[in-house]
Amino acid sequence: MKSVLILLKRDFKNSINKRVFLLLGFMVLLQAWFILGSGSVNNVVQSRQMTFMEIVFSFNLFGSIVALALSFDSISLERENKVMDLILTSNISKKKVLLSKTLNCFLVSCAFAILYVLLILVIYLSAAKDIRVSLLALRYILPITAFLSIYCLMGLVLSIIFRSSKESLIISVILGGLFIPRLYLLVAEGIGNALGFEEKSIDMLSMLSPALIMNALSGYAEKSEIFLGVLLLIVYLVVMISLSIIVFTKQDELNYGE
């Protein structure tokens, strides 16, 4: 366990880099543009509620791509730099390496979510001059963390499967684009109609989008949507973690560069 903690400390330190802060700044500026240009502040002050779009509009547009960018090279980069060889020859098992990477995904996701929400809180506070209203933003830390964790683990899986950082980056951008909520809803509706699904089945297919899971966990959805959102979150996490374990433990590190 000590070796896992050492790896986790190293991984987290390496993850909190310039790229993370650039992505964070981009998301906050995009959300600030929406808040200040859409009348969102007046809506929040009058309703005393901070709804989904008023804090995660930027995630609806680029959240999936940004989240994948946090971890698309977490394994592949260490393979390319020969760091993975050093770790594995230090009597540290692949399972411990993967445990560290998985825990780091959750830590980075949580740190990103906290920083993002705090900055959005400051924007609302400076615009609305109402601390109680601004504090409503804090309820989105957990939903955003869950959203980011799904994609971070997805990036980890891509980093393992494709071995190359360039390849995993390309696939991450493609997947991130496909999971943009509006595009995904169109794709889900098109597939559902083509296969003759009922409207209820199409709605459930649409819920597979992590952005919609985040919306369900925001606290304003109906109980049935919250239950489905939690269930899908668990399924996503179990599938991603299981897939990473199966693939990574079976890969041969001796010939990954060939």
59-97 pLDDT, tens digit each = 888 888 999 999 988 988 888 888 888 888 888 888 888
Distance CA 244, CA 99 (A): 10
Give, in order, the Cα–Cα distances in Å from 120 to each of 16, 17, 125: 20, 21, 9
Average pLDDT, the chain: 84
| pTM of full prediction above 0.85 | yes
DSSP result, 182-210:
HHHHHHHHHHHHHTT--HHHHHHHHTTSH
pLDDT at 94: 87
Confidence of residue 241 (pLDDT cuts 50, 70, 90): very high
pLDDT at 254: 60
Give, in order, the Cα–Cα distances in Å from 18 to each of 6, 22, 70, 138: 22, 6, 11, 25
Q: Are 26 and 66 in contact (CB under 8 A)?
A: yes
pLDDT at 103: 94
Q: Is the pLDDT of residue 170 over 80?
A: yes
- Counting the structural domains of the chain, the total is 1
Distance CA 224, CA 226 (A): 5
Q: Domain span at residue 82?
A: 2-255
Q: Are 133 and 48 in contact (CB under 8 A)?
A: yes
